[in-house]
Structure 1
Amino acid sequence: MKSELEHRSDQILPFKKFLLRVLKYFLFSIVLIAFSLGIGTVGYHHYANISWVDAFYNASLILTGMGPVDPMPTDNAKLFASFYALFSGIAFLSTVAVIFAPIAHRLLHILHVKEED
């Protein structure tokens, strides 16, 4: 299986193509964030019986690591909030990694090419 990223023996990707790659990874990250927010919003609305706006607010704050706003009234709501918080930590870190992956790859590629010259 061929990787999308260039091998260390390949030339550095032209800057315009690099920007397109960064945009592609950024858009994928937006999809991950939207999916994660959707899970949280629906879950908080369903389990905690709060409005859609409050559910979105809680999901947004949990996803970014700020913490919950509304108290969870039932055990099911508390369990959902707990699992969503664990999921959110992984999702947020994964999203950051996806955003920075092409930048880190280019930097390492440049450093490796300079080392060979």
Structure 2
Amino acid sequence: MLERRTHKVISRHRFAARMGLAILLWGVLTIVGLGIGMAGYAHFENMSWTDAYVNAAMILSGMGPVSDLKTQAGKIFAGSYAIFSGLIIVIATGFILAPVFHRVLHSFHVESGKD
């Protein structure tokens, strides 16, 4: 999918399409992560879907929970979800930055064909 050293740097249009795919992957990963958090908070803490959304979104964004947790299962879920969310943030950042870094580094390493 990515060009090799002997290939030219792709056009801006193809790069925009590649970034669009990366943003789509980021969005899907974020929605799945948010859904897992909402389901967990609704199940373990008996929160309304609105409260579950707020708590899941805040943890997924790295801000921390909004509501106090009342059950042991809810606390275990919240800790596990926080670890999971940290990984999601790192992976999602990689999806977005990888095409940018590849394009910049590829532009430095393209063989010119001159000997």
The TM-score range, normalised by the shorter chain, is over 0.9
2:9 counterpart of 1:24: no
Output the TM-score relative to the length of structure 1. Answer: 0.92
Q: Residue 91 of structure 1 is aligned with which of 78, 88, 91? A: 88
Structure 2 stretches of 5 or more lacking a match? none
Output the TM-score relative to the length of structure 2. Answer: 0.94
Q: 2:72 maps to what in 1?
A: 75
Task: Give distance in 1, aligned partners of 2:110 and 2:5.
Answer: 7
Percent identity between matched residues is: 41
Taking the TM superposition and a 5 Å limit, the aligned residue runs for 1:1-117 are: 4-113=1-110
Structure with the larger RCO, 1 or 2 (CA within 8 Å, 6+ apart): 2
Structure 1 stretches of 5 or more lacking a match? none
Aligned residue-pair number: 114
RMSD: 1.5
Amino acid at match of 1:70: S
Amino acid at match of 1:36: G
Task: Give distance in 1, aligned partners of 2:26 and 2:11.
Answer: 23
Task: Give distance in 2, aligned partners of 1:53 and 1:46.
Answer: 13
Change (3 A) 1:114 1:6: closer
